[in-house]
Structure 1
Amino acid sequence: MDDFTIPQNWAHYSAADHAVWKTLFERQTAMLPQLACREFVEGMHALPLNAETIPDFAALNDVLKPRTGWQVVAVPGLVPDEVFFEHLAHRRFPSGNFIRGADQLDYLQEPDVFHDVFGHVPMLMHPVMADFIQLYGEAGLRAQRIGKLTELARVYWYTVEFGLVKEQVQGASGAEEALRIYGAGIASSFTESGFAVQSPSPHRIGFDLERVMRTHYRIDDFQECYFVLDSLDCLLDLARIDFDPVYERLNSGPNYAPGDVLPGDKVFQRGDRAYVRAQVTASV
């Protein structure tokens, strides 16, 4: 099977490419220490990342691989599901080797080197996320064989890409609980970083596996709902469960829209959905 890997060709990046990276990097590194979980921020600082140049994957791997056994491999863009899961199952994170144009700073349909490296790799420095994503790759290969990939993909979306986690922070009156970013889709987005944890619009709901696997998501705009882990350690508990009984239950029963709030949900914030209403009004 073709693994779709290609050389990064770091020397081929243009001055304009590096300038786009610089803009994206400086925006996020100014914002995320106040919004992202400490594990993300620590991973970001521990890696050979800087504002001036797009990272060289070989230099990243020199730090990443001894830490958690992961390595970044270059691919030309999105790869087939089976290829993606095979890479993850063997601790290889596929990253696009291209970067968006200066006119696409805030939205890109296909993940580029900034999303893949800046968004994902800092969390791969953390042993819990490192183990979780490998186990997810193994689970993805099986889910594909038994026709449950749609449901399992929702777990990745609402954790690795758009997950929030509770964290104790120091407030004006002492330690307090705050919600922090660990998902790469948020951490690599200037506009969604603030929206995910500060806007009154989206719902923020405690993570429940079956609830998540029944919940659709947005691929074209901000999320209407973010699911919150009690701690990153919950990811390993999640990855090690027997999915078969869950898959069996998912054969019947409802699926949920992204904006639904259910009676049994643990609600950290019931959003006012102002952003969604504004988008609907603008489209009329």
Structure 2
Amino acid sequence: MAHADLTRPDGTAEDWTIPQDWTAYTAEEHATWDRLFERQARMLPGRVTPEFMEGLDVLRLTKPGIPDFEELSERLMKATGWQVVAVPGLVPDDVFFEHLANRRFVAGSFIRTPGQLDYLQEPDVFHDVFGHVPLLAHPVFADYMQAYGIGGQRAAKLGAIERLSRLYWYTVEFGLVRSGNERKLYGAGIVSSYTESVFALDDPSPNRIGFDLKRLMRTKYRIDDFQQNYFVIDSFEDLLDQTLNTDFEPLYAALEDEPDIEIEAILPTDLVYTRGTQAYARAKAAE
């Protein structure tokens, strides 16, 4: 939801929040949410981390229609002290980090049209609420998100937002987690997408690599299609532990002298779960 250079639209508060105006949603918009929800809820069990499904139940997101942020925030506050606030769309980095650092998750209030069910470039209410919010009911992941917000505020002062944004991309948006001998989905960009929910786990094309903080922060990513790499964490507890116990300032300094890693590269030091064929990305590039 963050972007470096934006102008605050008229009608927004200084923190970029707006009223959700839940009563203004049309029957068609609620029906679009229900269609998206039903499709994902049918295919995710067994593929997504169990904590996500538990969050859907705890927050009563199974109730039909676009959630009312006020009601949702009441339940989320009881679970982990978080709340959901509406914003008009993408927000500046400093605004995004400030909200996360104070346990407020910013969510777009608009919903995609029926013709955009499978791909939407700007995050809408389905991506933000269905994709992100269930795991905010999990105490450890909720703490990680707050830690990321605080880390983002520090990164901004150090001129290192691009490095830190890769951590968000490859964990919060497109992360996989180990579950015994299997891997499960947890990133919001995957779990809110029917097609990528299949691609990320089943397709032979992408690399699936063990999580390594420094390696990840050197790795480029793509915003226009399926990912070519997925990084696999051991657990949410380990992800939080590494985030809290890493001194990022010297890490950023060390990375200044390191070249970026191309998206499809496999390094000799990587823990490789799947060495992808990259067939999908190469076929798209040849079109």
TM-score by length of 1: 0.94
Alignment root-mean-square deviation, CA: 1.0
Distance in 2, matches of 1:277 and 1:220, equals: 14
* Partner AA of 1:180 in structure 2: K
Distance in 1, matches of 2:258 and 2:30, equals: 49
- Verify: 1:30 aligned to 2:7, yes or no: no
- How many Å apart are 1:2 and its aligned residue? 1.4
* Partner AA of 2:45 in structure 1: P
- How many Å apart are 1:50 and its aligned residue? 2.8
- Verify: 1:275 aligned to 2:280, yes or no: yes
1:21–1:51 contact (8 Å) kept in structure 2: no
- Counterpart position of 1:212: 216
Q: Deviations over 1:111-139 (max 9, x none)?
A: 01000000000110111110011011011
- How many Å apart are 1:251 and its aligned residue? 1.0
- The SS at the match of 1:34 is coil
- Verify: 1:40 aligned to 2:85, yes or no: no
Q: Gapped runs of 5+ residues in structure 1?
A: 169-176
Distance in 2, matches of 1:277 and 1:11, equals: 46
One of 254, 274, 283 as aligned partner of 2:259:
254
1:61–1:70 contact (8 Å) kept in structure 2: yes
Q: Which moved further from structure 2: 202-211 or 136-145?
A: 136-145
* Partner AA of 2:136 in structure 1: L
* Partner AA of 1:265 in structure 2: D
Q: Which moved further from structure 2: 220-229 or 249-258?
A: 249-258
- How many Å apart are 1:238 and its aligned residue? 2.1
* Partner AA of 1:197 in structure 2: L
User: How is 1:153-168 mapped onto 2 (pairs within 5 angstroms)?
Assistant: 153-168=165-180
* Partner AA of 2:263 in structure 1: P
- Counterpart position of 2:159: 147
1:25–1:51 contact (8 Å) kept in structure 2: no
* Partner AA of 1:114 in structure 2: F
- Counterpart position of 1:98: 110
1:68–1:130 contact (8 Å) kept in structure 2: yes
1:215–1:256 contact (8 Å) kept in structure 2: yes
- Counterpart position of 1:171: none
Q: Which moved further from structure 2: 255-264 or 46-55?
A: 46-55
Q: Deviations over 1:222-272 (max 9, x none)?
A: 000000001111121122121112111101022111111111000000011
Distance in 1, matches of 2:124 and 2:265, equals: 31
1:48–1:59 contact (8 Å) kept in structure 2: no
- The SS at the match of 1:180 is strand
- Counterpart position of 1:182: 186
- The SS at the match of 2:273 is strand
- The SS at the match of 2:91 is coil
Distance in 2, matches of 1:16 and 1:69, equals: 32
- How many Å apart are 1:280 and its aligned residue? 2.0
Distance in 1, matches of 2:15 and 2:120, equals: 24
User: How is 1:115-154 mapped onto 2 (pairs within 5 angstroms)?
Assistant: 115-154=127-166
Distance in 2, matches of 1:264 and 1:239, equals: 21
Give every structure 1 segment of 4 or more consecutive aligned residues whose post-TM-superposition deviation is greater than 6 Å.
none
One of 66, 82, 98 as aligned partner of 1:86:
98
TM-score by length of 2: 0.93
Distance in 1, matches of 2:282 and 2:107, equals: 35
Q: Which moved further from structure 2: 137-146 or 202-211?
A: 137-146
- Counterpart position of 1:263: 268
One of 242, 247, 260 as aligned partner of 1:242:
247
Distance in 2, matches of 1:279 and 1:265, equals: 26
Count of aligned residue pairs for this structure pair: 274
- The SS at the match of 2:169 is helix
Q: Gapped runs of 5+ residues in structure 2?
A: 1-12
Distance in 2, matches of 1:198 and 1:252, equals: 36
One of 66, 71, 75 as aligned partner of 1:59:
71
One of 196, 200, 219 as aligned partner of 2:200:
196
- The SS at the match of 2:151 is helix
* Partner AA of 1:249 in structure 2: A
Indicate the percent of aligned positions where both proteins have the same amino acid: 58
Distance in 2, matches of 1:125 and 1:198, equals: 28
- Counterpart position of 1:173: none
One of 206, 222, 227 as aligned partner of 1:223:
227
Distance in 2, matches of 1:280 and 1:7, equals: 42
- Counterpart position of 1:172: none
